[in-house]
Chains A and B, each alone.
Chain A
Amino acid sequence: MTPAGYLLVLLGILALWLLLLYNGLVKWRNIVAGAWAQIDVQLKRRYELIPNLVETVRGYARHERDLFEQIARIRAAALTAGSPRDVASADTQLAPAMRSLFAVAEAYPALKADQHFRSLMEELTATENKVAFARQYYNDSVRVYNTKTEQFPSAVLAARFGFRPAEYLEIDAVQREVQQVTF
């Protein structure tokens, strides 16, 4: 082979390698986007469950009115949250309120025995877990994706083609406890 031939082969390999790097970036950006969509789906489901649960608890514990109103207010705010930061902040407020609701439920044995309440609690526990796991998966994906956008050599491609680092969704320690609530 002539020197020009070798050069051509070398260039071909280089081009292929760049293509793979680029595709890796696209793949992980899509995984991050998909993971974010999953959190959204699970949060919506959770907000749909809350009124149902509040109604059931209200039937047994009428005088906890303040708590119910507080939850309704936070929920309304949470439904309009868009960015990862807003979502996280709405979540931080909702967590202690939901904990109080569980505490109220604890005080009413009749409520705890209620079949409808029990199945609602299972759904809520599941949804809380799904939110937490969706967030965990999102953060894990962001970590891999961001590393790709920062590490040489893919960082060069990332800068050239506008792959921005994604935002982490912060979890505070208290919320992990809520997630572990089981009845």
Chain B
Amino acid sequence: MAVPGHALHLQERIDRNVLATWVSMTSVVVLLTATAWFLGQIWDFGIPAAMIGFVIAATSSLAAYFSGDGIVLGLLRARPAEPDRHRELMNVTEEMAIASGLPVPRVYVIDSPASNALATGRDPSNAALAVTTGLLERLTRNELQAVVAHEMSHVRHRDTLYAVVVAVLVGTIVTMSDIFWHTARSGEIRTSRDHSDSKGEAVILVIGILLAVLAPLLARIIQMAVSRRREYLADLGGAELTRNPGALADALEKIAGDPDRFDVAYRGVQHLFVLNPVDPPSSGVTTFANLFNTHPPLRERVRILRGLAHQPDGRAGDSALPV
């Protein structure tokens, strides 16, 4: 129900996402600077490594914030939808913008036989959503509307801001760690302070390696954990916009049953999609495997949506969520 508290809950969710974005941007900058400092201790660059780390992290944070949507859309080779050919897509997008009281986002199409969709952009005025041509072919009008509604909910909750920043930052961390391992393996590591303090050196070396190993892993777990609850909430938000939760359940099942995998999608942006394009959705509930999945188990999402379909106005509060 749009109970009095509803607008407040929404605002809280938005505030939390904006805060989470700043916190993760700051912690990535700190993490990268620290990692670079440790690497500088064990591997002599000749220039202050911490400074390089800071500059790289700060630059990628700012780039993520201001042009993350462009980076993501470019990576996926999305092109703007055409008013004539993609009339239905543009219409359902307008419908969902009206239903959520937000500006109409930019609409993009990705040439791929796979079925998937994503939203991006730092705020509703800069939002964009993209769907694959495969999705357009397979879904009915109502199902397409449901998928667009799910994406509009991400925009409405400011998940898109958080998601795109996380995408770029995780990409940076993983790349930096790759560079480190590549260099380490080719045996270029040498100590900067020869023979002076071998004990302290060893400690620093161990911490440095730990950071380099843990950083990408940690980044990925954060990326997964935060995004799963958002998916449930976007499903509910989408159902609230369309008042037709069954259509999203149908669409999810169709997308999951699709044998075509999305080949352009790479790991850094997997959490942006309506259904995870990299790891096939696990249909059962297996706790450990789910730790590394950005999306909740499909069966669970469909079960919740089908449950909503039997309620008079197709809505529910957060209470319908599994904890």
Contacts and interface: CB of A to CB of B under 8 A. Distances in A.
Given A125-B141, A141-B101, A182-B142, A151 B95 contact: no
Interface string B1-20: 01010110000000000000
Contacts of A144: 2, 4, 6-7
A31 interface: yes
Given A119-B87, A125-B141, A180-B142, A130 B2 contact: no
B4 A137 contact: no
Q: Which bucket holds chain A's interface residue count?
A: 20 to 34
Interface string B87-122: 110011011101111000000000000000000000
B192 interface: no
B138 interface: no
A92 interface: no
A43 B141 CA distance: 21
B131 to A, nearest CB: 17
A54 B87 CA distance: 21
B141 to A, nearest CB: 5
B101 A31 contact: yes
Contacts of B141: 125, 182
Given A31-B101, A144-B2, A133 B91 contact: no
Interface string B133-146: 00000001110010
A140 interface: yes
B98 A38 contact: yes
B98 A130 contact: yes
Contact of B96 (A119, A133, A143): A133
Given A144-B7, A151-B4, A182-B142, A137 B98 contact: yes
Interface residues of B, number: 21
B192 to A, nearest CB: 55
B92 to A, nearest CB: 8
A100 interface: no
Contact of A136 (B88, B92, B99): B99
B104 to A, nearest CB: 11
Interface in B230-287: 241, 243
Nearest to A31: B101
A129 interface: yes
Nearest to A28: B7
B91 A137 contact: no
Q: Give the residue among B87, B94, B99, B241 with the most A Cβ atoms within 10 A.
A: B99
Contacts of B100: 137
Nearest to B2: A140
Interface in A146-183: 147-148, 151, 180, 182
Contact of A137 (B92, B94, B101): B101
B88 A133 contact: no
Contact of B95 (A129, A147, A182): A129
Nearest to B95: A129
B4 A130 contact: no
B99 A137 contact: yes
B140 A182 contact: yes
B101 A130 contact: no
